[in-house]
Amino acid sequence: MCEEQFEIVETEVAAPGEGQFPVRDDWMMLSVVMSALMEAEPHPDLPMSAYALGEPPWMPTVGTDVASNSPQLLVGDLVHHNSGFREYVVGEADSWEFTRLDPDLLPGPQYHLNQGVTAWRGMVDVAKIGEGDTVFVSAARRAVRSRAAGGGAQRPLRSAATCPARTPPST
């Protein structure tokens, strides 16, 4: 991706109506799959919708509520949404697309966008791993494998992870 592939558009951010709140986007998750979502005809097996030409690309985003008009969110609250690639977005408090985040749950707001957090929360909160446990992660890649294998830094445990086999290059 390069600057020539994007159009920068300035628009007015609507004042929040009843139950709405504007969010200033602070962190966006960039992923390898984004290039596939930009293709004219994305692969039919992708479990997500492709980007529409002329529309801002969607992606997981974390931002800050800057002028709430909703009792569910206060100015300064951390919010997760998938509207991405914009400076501001107006959210609906009753919408499933906007989720208030606990700012003290993780070391920083950007951690809410990391796939490794899913592995960590599953091991700690769901599986209830503890001292001396052995964790095996099958077919783990990148963030999930690193988070699972790095669990010992916070808890004394043993871990092992495998990743998909790669076909060696032909000679």
User: What is the pTM (predicted TM-score) of this model?
Assistant: 0.66
What end-to-end distance do the CA atoms of the chain give, in Å?
Answer: 32
In terms of pLDDT, which residue wins out, 72 or 65?
65
CA distances from 119 to 14, 41, 76, 79, 154 (A): 38, 32, 28, 21, 14
What is the C-alpha separation between 123 and 152, in angstroms, rounded? 11
Higher pLDDT, 143 or 80: 80
The Cα 154–Cα 148 span in angstroms is 11
Residues 6+ apart with CB under 8 A from 117: 106, 111, 147
Q: Whose CA is closest to 94, among 18, 28, 30, 27?
A: 18
Higher pLDDT, 112 or 33: 112
**d(C-alpha 65, C-alpha 87), whole Å:** 12
Q: Which residue has the tokens 């951390």?
A: 78
Hunting for tokens 């609250």 — which residue is that? 77
Query: What value, to the nearest 5°, has the Cα angle with vertex 165 and ends 163 and 166?
Result: 120
The residues spanned by each domain of the chain are 16-106, 116-161
- Cα–chain-centroid distance for residue 26? 12
pLDDT per residue over 22-69, tens digit each? 999 999 887 777 777 777 677 777 777 788 778 888 888 999 999 988
| 135/108 Cα distance (integer angstroms) | 26
Distance CA 101, CA 35 (A): 28
Question: What gap in Å lies between CA 38 and CA 71, rounded to an integer?
Answer: 38
Residue 152 has pLDDT above 50, yes or no: no
Architecture in CATH for domain 16-106: Alpha-Beta Complex (3.90)
